[in-house]
């Protein structure tokens, strides 16, 4: 391959770089033209491309490859590698090409929905770790601690948890699970449903009027889950709140905005976007807001949309930050799905905190810097007390 390309005077990298242009044009022609007045992007039209000498040269080279190369060319594979090469050329850690499988996994994780019965399963012994409310599992009477030993007529005791999950998810009709419950074997009949993926955990801190709310991912359904959780906590007498964003690596910007809208007063700044030195600010436009005191927990894995929410709560709401300096991802990505199911993800802007600060590569510093450290007792047992959470409770009790 390299010998042939060198003989013709074209490096593979150069050919790949130009092939990408055609790939992207083909991928976005179907719909974007209709909504952007025949524009391929915000500032590029077909007329612009028809006058692009480099693009015309590429089209000639590409046509010759397809018609004259000595072997059959897998254009799909070639374009996959071409797009990946273009993303890599830009030199941005967050600009990348995702194949169809990776794209599907990403959208599944951020969709906020899944098909299943509503349980968490222990990977080692296939026991039920958690049964979620209002799901097929809870309605069928499955209990935490039950161990899955059978699926329909199949004994699954020697299967892995992943294999059992695949059996369950692959069923399109009612099926029977046999469960070991203590010394008894229980059988339940149930069917998969489309469920909201739980992305939060919440409870009232024991012997206090402090609520605790942990956010794991900024998915499409996060705002609905947060709203329901706040309603329940407030009904339970919550007077102040801990929002745990530790190890939350982000997700959809719209989800972070929707959650911020629940807390900030109308008109308060949520974030700004710096696109080629043009700054656009985004403020709360809702009438909903909260007034109780808030502490936000952050650490080195708090990133992206999590940092946007943490900064908004600190600078526009007056929340206190406890923990460690956050990751420092101050860039926003756009995504574009291609016809074959793959996707390109590229950085489109820097985001700014309400005070106009760019935290990219720097992170957000907490008001109280606390590290969770290992503690060894006299017997040699090692534990890691949650000093960050304890400090958050202390701050709210003062």
Residue 45 forms beta bridges with which residues?
39
Give yes or no: 329 in active site: yes
Catalytic member of 126, 315, 316, 326? 315
Contact 229, 202 (CB under 8 A): yes
Number of Cβ within a 10 Å radius of residue 76: 12
Residue 396's nearest CA partner among 358, 373, 367 is 367
Residue 187's nearest CA partner among 175, 179, 195 is 179
Give yes or no: 304 in active site: yes
Residue 100 forms beta bridges with which residues?
none
Contact residues for 57 (Cβ-Cβ < 8 A; gap 6+):
18
Catalytic member of 23, 214, 240, 304? 304
* Residues 195, 255: Cα–Cα separation, whole Å: 18
The catalytic residues are: 304, 315, 329
């Amino acid at each position: 391959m390299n010998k042939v390309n060198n003989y013709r005077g074209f490096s593979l990298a150069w050919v790949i770089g130009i092939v990408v242009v055609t790939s992207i044009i083909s991928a976005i022609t179907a719909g974007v033209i209709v909504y952007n007045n025949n524009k391929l992007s915000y500032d590029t039209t077909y007329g612009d491309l028809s006058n692009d000498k480099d693009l015309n040269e590429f089209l000639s080279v590409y046509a010759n490859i397809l018609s004259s190369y000595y072997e059959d060319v897998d254009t799909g594979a070639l374009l996959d590698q071409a797009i990946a090469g273009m993303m890599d050329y830009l030199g941005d850690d967050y600009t990348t090409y995702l194949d169809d499988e990776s794209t599907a996994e990403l959208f599944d994780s951020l969709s906020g929905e899944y098909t299943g019965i509503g349980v968490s399963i222990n990977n080692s012994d296939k026991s039920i770790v958690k049964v979620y409310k209002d799901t097929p599992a809870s309605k069928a009477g499955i209990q935490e601690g039950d161990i899955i030993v059978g699926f329909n007529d199949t004994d699954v005791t020697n299967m892995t948890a992943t294999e059992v999950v695949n059996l369950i998810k692959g069923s399109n009709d009612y099926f029977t699970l046999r469960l070991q419950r203590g010394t008894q074997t229980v059988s339940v009949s149930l069917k998969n449903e489309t469920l909201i993926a739980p992305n939060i955990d919440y409870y009232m801190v024991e012997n206090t009027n402090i609520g605790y709310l942990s956010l794991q991912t900024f998915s499409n359904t996060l705002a609905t889950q947060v709203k329901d959780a706040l309603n329940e906590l407030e009904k339970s007498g919550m007077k102040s709140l801990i929002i745990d964003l530790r190890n939350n690596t982000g997700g959809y910007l719209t989800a972070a905005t929707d959650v911020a809208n629940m807390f900030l007063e109308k008109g308060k700044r949520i974030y700004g976007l710096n696109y080629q030195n043009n700054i656009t600010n985004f403020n709360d436009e809702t009438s909903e807001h909260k007034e109780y005191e808030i502490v936000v927990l952050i650490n080195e894995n708090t990133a992206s949309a999590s940092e946007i929410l943490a900064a908004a709560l600190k600078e526009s709401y007056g929340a206190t930050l406890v923990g460690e300096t956050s990751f420092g991802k101050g860039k926003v990505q756009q995504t574009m799905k291609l016809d074959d199911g793959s996707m390109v993800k590229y950085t489109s802007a820097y985001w700014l905190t309400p005070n106009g600060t760019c935290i990219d590569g720097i992170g957000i510093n907490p008001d109280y810097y606390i590290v969770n450290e290992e503690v060894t007792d006299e017997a040699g047992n090692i534990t890691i007390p949650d000093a960050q959470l304890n400090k958050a409770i202390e701050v709210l009790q003062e």
